[in-house]
Amino acid sequence: MREIKFRGKRIYNGEWVEGSLCQGENRIFIVYDNDFTVSTIYGETNLISDRFFEVDPDMIGQYTGLKDKHGTEIYEGDIIDCGFGDGNTVVYFDEKTCQFTTEQRWLWGYDKIEVLGNIYDNPELIKEG
């Protein structure tokens, strides 16, 4: 079973954080997994943690459950080199399936894939084959 977690860029200082995705009062947060408690007060359930980080809603990506040849986790929005000489590609989810924006239909051997950056910090890396 694939680990479900997200990565988001903090609004406060621009750092990337990983964990569970939470929404509250029209704001989006990442909270480190297993670093919160659940409390019910007056019939309302709340998550309590001092490690909630507000993130930019336009800079969130879900973990694919895959790692590149260096052991780097691959997230939605990452720019990868598939090792086939067909240019860099972007990772995205489509109908609950991890996809790559490439014409390469079969990615034989994830040992060739390398995360180069992401579409938010490194848009200049997006190029066609």
Q: What is the pLDDT at residue 103?
A: 44
- Distance (Å, rounded) from C-alpha 60 to C-alpha 77? 8
Q: What is the pLDDT of residues 20-69, one digit of tens each?
A: 888 877 888 888 766 566 666 677 666 555 677 889 999 999 998 888 88
Task: Please answer whether residues 29 and 53 qualify as being in contact, where contact means their C-beta atoms are separated by less than 8 angstroms.
Answer: yes
pTM: 0.76
CB atoms within 10 A of CB 110: 13
